[in-house]
Amino acid sequence: MEKAKSAAAFYDMDGTLVSTNLVHSFLFFARNEPSIPRSVLKSAAGVAKIPAFVAVDAVSRFKFNEMLFAGYAGTFRDRLLEFSEEHFEQVLKPNIFPGTYELVENARRKGLRQVIISGSLDFMVTPLARHLGIDDIITNQLVFEDDVATGELVKPIVAGAHKARIIQQYAEAHDIDLLASYGFSDSISDYSMLSVVGRPAAVNPDRKLRRSAEELRWPILDLR
């Protein structure tokens, strides 16, 4: 008899499990540059670019990611790893939505394999996944040359519609039944990701995702 496939829960991170976003994380690392002048310059540049980040994100999540992560160019890998725990303690942990713990625990009781799929970077997501007891992460990764970030991302970029294809590939590799699996996100940019699982849910949804969820009768959760 063929072994039954397992099911999974796929979580977006920013806006879904935590109230922060990629810009918060970028500004945290900018403020913690070892050189005060460099820290001031990068922080000021990051703040000045916020309107541009918002405008680009409204058009293309892929371009937004490329634009934002270009700001990490010239940063040593060891420094990013060093600050990843501080980033978790100071930025992510205080901003975990109250309902996140119950959501994750419910999935654990159901025996689901739990996966964070996020446009954030691997070293940022790992401490949160460990804290919540998440089984696996699928994230963006910086390209490094001689342990220095180039500002480019390893392809394929984890964003938008690409998340759906990445989830399908992950499910195939781990023998997961997507029709029995769950998806959770706050953003209409993850509509494709939610559509490839049999049990999608809109979490703290933006206006467009809420409207789509209501039309499709997807559950709408508020973890705030």
pLDDT along the chain (224 residues), means of 10: 77 95 78 51 45 51 74 87 90 96 97 96 95 97 94 90 94 96 96 96 96 97 94
DSSP reduced 3-state for 140: strand
3-state secondary structure of 210: helix
Rg (CA), the chain: 18
Whole-number Å distance between alpha carbons of 53 and 51: 5
75 neighbors 148 (Cβ within 8 angstroms): yes
The pLDDT score that the predictor gives to residue 33 is 57
Sequence letter at residue 13: M
- Note the pLDDT of residue 115: 98
Work out whether strand 8-11 and strand 113-121 pair parallel, antiparallel, or are unpaired. Answer: parallel
Q: Which residues of 94-116 are buried (b: 16+ CB within 10 A; e: fewer)?
A: eebbeebeebbeebeeeebbbbb
Do residues 104 and 13 touch, judged by C-beta distance below 8 A? no
Which residue's structure tokens are 């990068």?
42
Domains of the chain (ranges plus CATH)?
8-217 (3.40.50.1000)
Return the H-helix or E-strand segment holding 151. Answer: strand 148-153
What pLDDT is attached to residue 57? Answer: 53
Cα–Cα dist 107/40, whole Å: 43
pTM over 0.95: no
Distance separating alpha carbons of residues 207 and 213, to the nearest angstrom = 10
SS3 171: helix
